[in-house]
Amino acid sequence: MKFIKVAQEWLGACSGCEIAMLNMGEKFFDLLKKIEMVHMPLLFDHKTFDEFQDAEIEISVVSGCVISEGHLHLLKKIREKSQKLCAFGTCATHGGIPSLLNSWSTDVALKEIFSSNSKKDHLTFPNKDLSGFLDRVYALDEFVEVDILLPGCPPRPSLIREFLSKLIKGDFPSLPNKSVCDTCPTLRFGKGRKGIIKRPMENPEYDPNEPIEKMRCFLEQGYLCMGPVTLAGCAFDDGPPCIKARTPCRGCYGPVYPVGNQMLEMMNALASVGIEWKTIIDRRSLLRFSGAHGLLGPYPGSKQNKK
Amino acid sequence: MNANIHINPITRIEGHASVKIFLDEKGEVKKTRLLIHSLRGFEKFVQGRPAEEIPRIVTRICGICPWMHHLAASKAIDNCFDIRPPLAGNLLRELCHLLAHIGDKILHFFFLASPDFLIGPEKSHYSVRSIIGIAKSFPDFTSKIARMRQLVHEMLESFTGRSIHPVASVVGGFSKPMLEEERKELLKAASKLLDFALFSLEFAKKDIFGPNQDLFENLGTIETGFLGMVDNSGNLELYNGNLRLMSKDGGVIDFSPEKYENYIEENVVPWSYSKVPYAKIWGKGLSLKIDDPKGVYRVNSLARINVVERISTPHAQEALEEFRNRFGRPVQNTLLYHWARLIELIYASERVIQILNKKEITDPCVRKKAEPKAGRGIGCVEAPRGTLIHDYTTDKDGCIVKANLIVGTTHNTAAMNLSVEQAARSFINKGYIDEEIINRIEMAIRAYDP
């Protein structure tokens, strides 16, 4: 029996997506019995895509954002060698946390990082044998065609398993366009605390002996919660994990619709319940998981150096 | 003949790196460089963010040790806002820290490093020299380690919601108290972890360290100083303590993590996006010359095991004594990082049980109310990969204006370069290189778990 070939690669990434994959536990090993894993640098000493024919790999699962020329080169090569490309995790689908860097040009940012502690007169800048940086942080689909989006920071292990099983069968899985609120059982009375957004300097009101069904919604308690504008997918049967930890959602699965804008949508959501969005101290943070696709740009007035 | 050799990427490590080996005209190693490719600019883009959000942002520095970044940042932001969490808040944080250490050590030792020893670097196919190869040869064993890793993640999720990119540590403490039922369940699971930790060291002594004695003596071995955390009596400490810098002759200097800038300094080099810290207090600067390195110290398991006087938990102390009787102190053999890692696995498992047995752990008061303000805060923990320092400055609104982060692996940049060069020099002859040699050079890096 011929197994289908699957490759897994990481670009500008933290490896949390790969760890989530391993968190399938023994089921990860069961899955590996059904495929031929041809590349996965976390686990295998397989180094390059050069040996593969065009479109030889059935499925490539790629995590991370594109920030360097090296990433871009590798991404294009993977696209060439793969029939289907799955953007794996929110960095790959929407830029993820690294796309917060898009508030500056990369040149400006790097200069500062490498000058901060240097007492020398001239700046040593790493450039020897290293791949250069792009002008900003990109998601995969800004450069190549992406067939499947699996967002999440990281995606929940059971969701990864579901997607991979469907991919292996030849399907094109996707998440339904529901919001985190649609999967959150906290109490909503429809009339929240009007006025200003409270910064989370203390825990919300709740009884720790009761499940989250008995806790009042974060937004109605006056705290910023990105649930209304974030794609559902994180929740287990008993609700979203951050809410179970009694902390609000920060939007890690990206927008409910792939082309959405979490910042604008959140401002709308707040305005509609009578909260003054201008009282959010750092509105850029509303795009902290989805600042690619040109959504997060340099601060007004700052110089943008083009490469 | 190849003018130089590029091993790209280094595989079965947790980051993005490659090795360049420069050869002379006779094909002998002239010099080597470990190139760190990844840079995402956290120190820059946290600027302007409200400080209380930082513990939920910097987790993305590392998906393998997100808890350590989450907690170092929490401690630093507490200091910026000048607030001390209640006892239960601190205990819950330390418990998470230790559980995350356990998961990390199981992942690194069994999933990433052990194939080098159990399968061997000799010309075996890449798919065989991996955890998948081990799964085929030893299915029951693999199920066991997969289950133990899984158990740690389930334990963390059971009372904090998330095990990867956690959220439960918050400025001023913890987001929720632990319930008595949760504590009892965790205690049951923790005793399984301790059994497994004890099994791991026995297994490794018999099947990994024993049969590979020659490798453990020589591969990547260099002479350096060490940095690690200790408590007030010099015991091993992973969560909260002073830092101890040990020179290669064994002399020590203890200092508070807040004073780190007086002892170590970061150098920028043209060939790596990772900065290169060195011990400036020794007054000799930084030199990576293989026959006479200067300023180089190491962190991570072997460093911690070297700097401590003793370990406060009985099984780990016993393992430490055996280790010292065999290898002395300080131990310079690079591959013994693996052995030291397993001693720490035992300590972390024992300490988890100790903490879960404290009655204060279920105290409902887990957080104090904070007020945003201007300040500077330094938070330091021992991450699996070494001393982790988060240093933030806030403005009057409590937003970040400056950040400096020294992550565990960064401290080891200089030492990893030396170990790679040592390994390359001993294995490469007349320019000849094959897959076995490549893997042996990678093993020198893997020991540091970068």
By C-alpha distance, which of B447, B446, B448, B449 is closest to B7?
B446
Nearest residue of B to residue A291 by CA position? B45
Rounded CA separation B159/A79 (Å): 41
pLDDT for res A240: 98
| Residue of B96, B132, B151, B164 for testing the chain A interface, max A β-carbons within 10 Å | B164
**Residue that is last in its domain, among A168, A193, A218:** A168
Inter-chain CB proximity B126 and A45 less than 8 Å: yes
Q: Judge if A36 and A93 occupy the same domain.
A: yes
Q: Is residue A111 part of a domain?
A: no
Strands B252-255 and A133-138: unpaired
Q: Is residue A118 part of a domain?
A: no
Inter-chain CB proximity A70 and B37 less than 8 Å: yes
Question: Which residues in chain A are contacts of B126 at CB distance < 8 A?
Answer: 44-46
Q: Judge if A138 and A203 occupy the same domain.
A: no
Please give the biggest Cα pair distance in chain A.
Answer: 65
Inter-chain CB proximity A25 and B130 less than 8 Å: no
Q: Judge if A63 and A20 occupy the same domain.
A: yes
Q: Judge if A76 and A187 occupy the same domain.
A: no
Q: Is residue A114 part of a domain?
A: no
Question: Which residues in chain A are contacts of B85 at CB distance < 8 A?
Answer: none
Inter-chain CB proximity B33 and A129 less than 8 Å: yes
Q: Is residue A151 part of a domain?
A: yes
Token pair 């497994």 is found at B196
| Residue of A33, A111, A247, A302 for testing the chain B interface, max B β-carbons within 10 Å | A247
Residue A126 CB contacts under 8 Å (≥ 6 apart), including other chains: A114, B268, B269, B270, B271, B272, B273
Q: Judge if A245 and A222 occupy the same domain.
A: yes
Considering its fold, how many domains does chain A have in total?
Answer: 2
Question: Which residues in chain B are contacts of A12 at CB distance < 8 A?
Answer: 38, 40
Element (DSSP H or E) covering residue B4: strand B4-7
Per-residue pLDDT of chain A (307 residues; tens, 9 = 90+): 679 999 999 999 999 999 999 999 889 999 998 999 999 999 999 999 999 999 999 999 999 999 999 999 999 999 999 999 999 999 999 999 999 999 998 888 888 888 755 444 445 667 666 778 899 999 999 999 999 999 999 999 999 999 999 999 999 999 999 999 999 999 999 876 678 899 999 999 999 999 999 999 999 999 999 999 999 999 978 899 999 999 999 999 999 999 999 999 999 999 888 888 889 999 999 999 999 999 999 887 655 443 3
Name the residue with higher pLDDT: A206 or B141.
Answer: A206
- Contact indicator for B50, B288 with CB cutoff of 8 Å: no
Inter-chain CB proximity B177 and A208 less than 8 Å: yes
Q: Judge if A201 and A53 occupy the same domain.
A: no
Q: Is residue A303 part of a domain?
A: no
Q: Is residue A127 part of a domain?
A: no
Nearest residue of A to residue B126 by CA position? A45
Q: Judge if A30 and A145 occupy the same domain.
A: yes
pLDDT band per the 50, 70, 90 thresholds, residue B3: confident
Q: Judge if A163 and A200 occupy the same domain.
A: no
Question: Which residues in chain B are contacts of A124 at CB distance < 8 A?
Answer: 268-270
Inter-chain CB proximity A19 and B171 less than 8 Å: no
What is the distance, to the nearest Å, from the Cα of residue A232 to the centroid of all Cα atoms in its chain?
A: 13
Q: Is residue A122 part of a domain?
A: no
Inter-chain CB proximity B62 and A14 less than 8 Å: yes
Q: Judge if A40 and A149 occupy the same domain.
A: yes
Tokens of A214: 């008995």
Q: Is residue A190 part of a domain?
A: yes
pLDDT digits (tens, 9 = 90+) for B77-102: 999 999 999 999 999 999 999 999 99
Q: What ipTM did this prediction achieve? A: 0.95
pLDDT for res A81: 98
Inter-chain CB proximity B64 and A247 less than 8 Å: no
The CATH number assigned to the domain holding A57 equals: 3.40.50.700
Inter-chain CB proximity B61 and A14 less than 8 Å: yes
Nearest residue of A to residue B13 by CA position? A42
Of the partner residues B112, B132, B176, the one whose CB lies closest to the CB of residue A246: B176
Which residue type does B380 have? C
Q: Judge if A194 and A144 occupy the same domain.
A: no
Inter-chain CB proximity A245 and B371 less than 8 Å: no
Rounded CA separation A74/A92 (Å): 14
Say which DSSP state A50 is in: T
- Domain of residue A238: give its range: 176-298
Residue B89 CB contacts under 8 Å (≥ 6 apart), including other chains: B172, B173, B174, B365, B366, B367, B368
| Residue of B16, B109, B417, B435 for testing the chain A interface, max A β-carbons within 10 Å | B16
Inter-chain CB proximity A15 and B268 less than 8 Å: no
Question: Which residues in chain B are contacts of A199 at CB distance < 8 A?
Answer: 50, 52, 372, 398
- Contact indicator for A41, B9 with CB cutoff of 8 Å: yes
**Residue that is last in its domain, among A113, A146, A168:** A168
Q: Judge if A44 and A66 occupy the same domain.
A: yes
Question: Which residues in chain A are contacts of B371 at CB distance < 8 A?
Answer: 201
By C-alpha distance, which of B233, B278, B232 is closest to B256?
B232
Q: Judge if A10 and A158 occupy the same domain.
A: yes
- Contact indicator for B78, B85 with CB cutoff of 8 Å: yes
